[in-house]
Chains A and B, each alone.
Chain A
Amino acid sequence: MAVNRWIQSGNYRRNYKEDQTIFATFSEQASLVVLIILLFLVPYAPFMSRSLFRLFDLVLIYTVAVMGLNIVTGFAGQISIGHAAFMGVGAYAAATITRDLAVPLLGFADAVPFWYVLLLLPVSGLIAATAGAFVGLPSFRLKHLYLAIATLAFQIIFTWSVGHTPWLKQGGSIRVPRVEFFGEIIRGSSAIGPFFYYFGLVVVIVMALAFRNLLRSKFGRALVAVRDNDRAADAMGINPGATKVMAFAIGGFYAGVAGALLAFYNGSVIVESFSLAISIDFLAMAIIGGLGTLVGSLIGPVFLQFLDPWVEQLADLVQWVMPSTIDVGTAMRPSVFGIIIVLFLIFEPRGLANWWRLLRQYFKRWPFKF
């Protein structure tokens, strides 16, 4: 049957194999390709400035972390308030392995080759995944949302232990060598070029594909089953505890990769980048983007990171009418972010991803309403 694939208006899935495809329609596939090409062209856009580059790079790194949080919170239905700590585990793993193993043993001077970074990302991810699995362990015996408290405890223990370990410079800055890419030393955030943008983009694409693939697998459906009704899932032969532990491990893996990426990007690791406040920022990104959707964890970080400069400007405006003893900058961020989370939870619990879905449907059906 000859079908015009460009005007396909819905899913006509006739068997399980078709139901498990990654992309629902051909136009979705095509628009994704266009989007990726556009994203690859962004560094050549005339409006790109250094601060905008930094913003984009951070968005990409945070996107990887938020995807992990979305697996834990959006799909497994467990709140994690320690996601920044998992990211920190990855970052510190990358920094210490480089400092104590790679530099003395492999003899890197002041830059590490690119293949080493590629190798180290999954290694740091695995170390963070171990931490994630450990924090998730109580879910073998616990139901409900007690685990949120365990993740909070992990966040506090992490910050405290880093701050009290001389080996980790007690939370002070640990230097991470620069990356050498085909003979050129990339100087990270200090002289921003498109290297980290492309690197981050490729990592995001790979991780997003893995995410999408995971969700259509048996494990992905088990996750959703456990979230929606763990008793029913148990009755169908899914082990809810093991599924949740695995979700925490995978979430930790994503966070660890993001952490290692951040370490190489900044050229240093410092404990303040992995505080409780950052964990709550991640949660905000996941909620605002939309829990339980991949698109959500891509939109959320973009939205919040681009909101950040606006909040700063607003803070400057308010500072004008407030006495100078009050630091409006530190006051504005938590209040605005908190209020946005509450508003989204009350009025649009499905997040921006839902608006995106509605928009797409509008165009798909145009000129009809239904």
Chain B
Amino acid sequence: MTFFLQLIVTGVAVGSIYALAALGFVLIYKSSRVINFAQGELIAIGAFITYGLTVWAGLNIWLSLAIAIGLMYLLGQGIERVFLRPMIGEPIISVIMVTIALASVLSGLVYFTPFGTLTARFPSYLPDTPLRFGGIVLRWEHLVGILLTVIFISVLLWFFTRSTLGIAMRAVADDQMASLSVGVSIEKVFALAWAAAAMSATAAGFVVGSLYGLELAGLIAIGLRVFPVVILGGLDSIAGAIVGGITIGILEQLASGYLDQYVPGGGTGEVFPFVILIVLLLFKPYGLFGTKEIERV
């Protein structure tokens, strides 16, 4: 029983990281209907910038996280400006292929830096002894992940319900043509969505980096884990990203807890979410909270 509960608790903690990574993805999809295949690279770059600032520039880790989030805001805006802006008005299929190419370019650029072959950890900034509740262990890094997710979600909630720009974003998500006609700048909204995606990716990358260490392939793999999350939650639902993230996190932990012994080499946790993804697409394609599209001919 303790084993089961432990898996659930770890699953929630890991899932909150996925939710964090998926937030940005959902924002981009919501505002522009673009499936962003470069989320994993954004996670990696965000984590590496934080690492560079702490280790090489010797800054405090929280300060460097804040600076990294700021820099990634600029990078997100820049990506939108250079890669996505020329594609406005083009068919969505081309835009999605641009994000696939973008993923390729970004990972190539990381290989040009020393980070491409880096395997490192953040200098320890949290107590080494994990929290214990009865027999259940919770690492401090997991706690940081959950906290960051809560912070990001509350900021987003405030942003979408209270600020003008947030309401404009919701308007664009609802109806592009109508929001254009009342003077909302679609370009600005898209750029903001990409910037927000890059920022939440940085937070996710920071937590992943402190949990599992920094390594390009591993960080990108976390980015791919976003897809099962958003398919489960529904591609255009923020609540779905959170519920989906936590569910996928729990299922993944359960899979690696109970199924690994039957598989040579283990590692079922890496693939189980994708099996769920395929099954979901067959039986519940719009996820838990996604907008069902009803078309009549």
Chain A residues proximal to chain B, CB less than 8 Å: 73, 77, 79, 81, 135, 137-138, 141-150, 152-154, 156-157, 160-161, 163-166, 170, 231, 234-235, 280, 283-284, 287, 322, 325-328, 330-339, 341-342, 345-346, 349
Q: Are B97 and A287 neighbours in the complex by a CB distance under 8 Å?
A: yes
Q: Are A160 and B271 neighbours in the complex by a CB distance under 8 Å?
A: yes
Q: Which residues of A contact B97 (CB under 8 A)?
A: 79, 283, 287, 341, 345
Within 8 A of A (CB), among B137-180: none
Quick check: which of B54-62, B98-106, B197-205, B245-253 contacts chain A, the rest being far away?
A: B98-106
Q: Which residues of B contact A170 (CB under 8 A)?
A: 264-265
Tell me the smallest distance from the CB of A85 to a CB of chain B, in Å.
12
| In-complex Cβ contact of B270 among A73, A150, A160 (8 A) | A160
Q: Are A81 and B100 neighbours in the complex by a CB distance under 8 Å?
A: yes
| In-complex Cβ contact of A346 among B87, B96, B113 (8 A) | B87
Q: Which residues of B contact A325 (CB under 8 A)?
A: 114, 117
Q: Are A231 and B277 neighbours in the complex by a CB distance under 8 Å?
A: no
Q: Are B109 and A331 neighbours in the complex by a CB distance under 8 Å?
A: yes
Q: Are A156 and B274 neighbours in the complex by a CB distance under 8 Å?
A: yes
B131 within 8 A of A: no
Q: Which residues of B contact A160 (CB under 8 A)?
A: 267, 270-271, 274
Bound complex: CA of A331 vs CA of B110, how far in Å? 8
Q: Are B271 and A345 neighbours in the complex by a CB distance under 8 Å?
A: no
B35 within 8 A of A: yes
A150-B281, A156-B224 given. 12 additional CB < 8 A pairs?
A79-B93, A142-B285, A144-B293, A149-B35, A152-B224, A152-B227, A157-B275, A165-B264, A335-B104, A335-B112, A336-B108, A346-B87
Within 8 A of A (CB), among B220-273: 224, 227-228, 231, 235, 263-265, 267, 270-271
Q: Are B293 and A164 neighbours in the complex by a CB distance under 8 Å?
A: no
| In-complex Cβ contact of A164 among B87, B104, B228, B267 (8 A) | B267
- Nearest first, the 7 closest Cβ-Cβ pairs linking A and B are A335-B108, A331-B111, A338-B104, A338-B105, A334-B108, A341-B101, A138-B281
- Nearest chain-B residue to A157 (Cβ)? B274
- 9 example contacts (A-B, Cβ-Cβ < 8 A) are as follows A73-B93, A138-B282, A141-B285, A152-B224, A153-B275, A160-B274, A326-B111, A341-B104, A346-B87
Q: Are A342 and B102 neighbours in the complex by a CB distance under 8 Å?
A: yes
Bound complex: CA of A160 vs CA of B221, how far in Å? 12
Bound complex: CA of A82 vs CA of B276, how far in Å? 17
With A137-B282, A157-B275, A345-B101 as known contacts, state yes or no: A327 contacts B111, CB within 8 Å. Answer: yes
Q: Which residues of B contact A73 (CB under 8 A)?
A: 93
Tell me the smallest distance from the CB of A51 to a CB of chain B, in Å.
24
Q: Are B98 and A345 neighbours in the complex by a CB distance under 8 Å?
A: yes
Q: Are A153 and B297 neighbours in the complex by a CB distance under 8 Å?
A: no
Q: Which residues of B contact A322 (CB under 8 A)?
A: 112
Q: Are A328 and B112 neighbours in the complex by a CB distance under 8 Å?
A: yes
Bound complex: CA of A332 vs CA of B104, how far in Å? 10
B278 within 8 A of A: yes
- Nearest chain-B residue to A156 (Cβ)? B274
Bound complex: CA of A148 vs CA of B235, how far in Å? 13
Q: Which residues of A contact B263 (CB under 8 A)?
A: 164
Q: Are B278 and A157 neighbours in the complex by a CB distance under 8 Å?
A: yes
| In-complex Cβ contact of B112 among A234, A331, A345 (8 A) | A331
Q: Which residues of A contact B90 (CB under 8 A)?
A: 345, 349
Bound complex: CA of A115 vs CA of B148, how far in Å? 63
Q: Are A283 and B111 neighbours in the complex by a CB distance under 8 Å?
A: no
Q: Which residues of A contact B227 (CB under 8 A)?
A: 149, 152-153
Tell me the smallest distance from the CB of B291 to a CB of chain A, in Å.
11
Within 8 A of A (CB), among B19-78: 33, 35, 37
Q: Are A150 and B277 neighbours in the complex by a CB distance under 8 Å?
A: yes
Q: Are A161 and B111 neighbours in the complex by a CB distance under 8 Å?
A: no
With A153-B227, A338-B102 as known contacts, state yes or no: A164 contacts B285, CB within 8 Å. Answer: no
Tell me the smallest distance from the CB of B267 to a CB of chain A, in Å.
7
Tell me the smallest distance from the CB of B137 to a CB of chain A, in Å.
28
Tell me the smallest distance from the CB of B234 to a CB of chain A, in Å.
11
Q: Which residues of A contact B135 (CB under 8 A)?
A: none
